[in-house]
Amino acid sequence: MKSVYYVGLDVHKQTISYCVKEVSGEIVDQGRVDATRTALTGWAEALPGPWNGALEATLFSAWIYDHLQPLAEDLAVAHPAMLEAITRAKKKNDRADAEKICDLLRCDLLPRCWMAPAWVRELRRVLRYRNLLVRQSVRMQNCISGLLMECGEEHVKSKLRGKRYFYELLDSLEHTPESAIELLAMSRGMHEMFVELETSLLRALVRHPRLRERVALLRTIPGVGEVTALTWA
């Protein structure tokens, strides 16, 4: 029966530090590999035998997990906050961090966190991007109101979202410099673009086959709209 090796991975944007140990704690290999799929495949295939691995949950961990998970006997993702509490030390470097993760995995002390399936992470990414579009849309609305106040133009801020009100107001400006009018029109165009994109993404999420029934059920709760239902789902 082949021995199972334990691998700790310290993930960064461009490189990944690793430490490979036997169950006894003896170091088999340490080093660094480029954070690319080709390099990781070659590195994993060169390991001396079956292996269990662990890496910390970071912005870059998801694709690495997806790529290495089929090549490992088991691959765990560590909770970053709990991992920091356990491995807090005065002396820190990538090599030492990889070894600590390896030891926690080997001794069954790794604070694991749940790695959502790829399709769930994909939908979350779309929802986060939709939230970004909403923030940008609001930012443009505030920019329009700010420009009008800067030029001393009276307006009803709550009505600025309305297309008809905005363009009627724009046509009625008499004392506003031409440059400010151009900026107002540009800001309005960007606002409408963000709103259109946000609406398109929201409709796609609501109609997604994995979410449609769940969202419909959640929306039967009083006060729960599309966005809240999608966030919960």
DSSP 40-76: HHHHHHTSSS-EEEEEE--TTHHHHHHHHGGGSSEEE
Domain identity same for 135 and 215: yes
Domain residues for the domain of 65 are 5-106
Residue with tokens 């400006």: 173
Domain identity same for 127 and 228: yes
Is residue 112 assigned to a domain?
Answer: no
Domain identity same for 130 and 221: yes
Residues 6+ apart with CB under 8 A from 100: 8, 87, 89
Torsion 205-207-208-212 (CA) sign? positive
Report DSSP state, residue 2: P
Residues of the chain predicted below pLDDT 70: 1-2, 85-92
Is residue 113 assigned to a domain?
Answer: no
Tokens coding 44: 């994993």
Is residue 111 assigned to a domain?
Answer: no
pLDDT tens string 24-77: 999 999 999 999 999 999 999 999 999 999 999 888 899 999 999 999 999 999
Q: Going along the chain, which residue ranges are E strands? A: 5-11, 15-21, 27-34, 51-56, 74-78
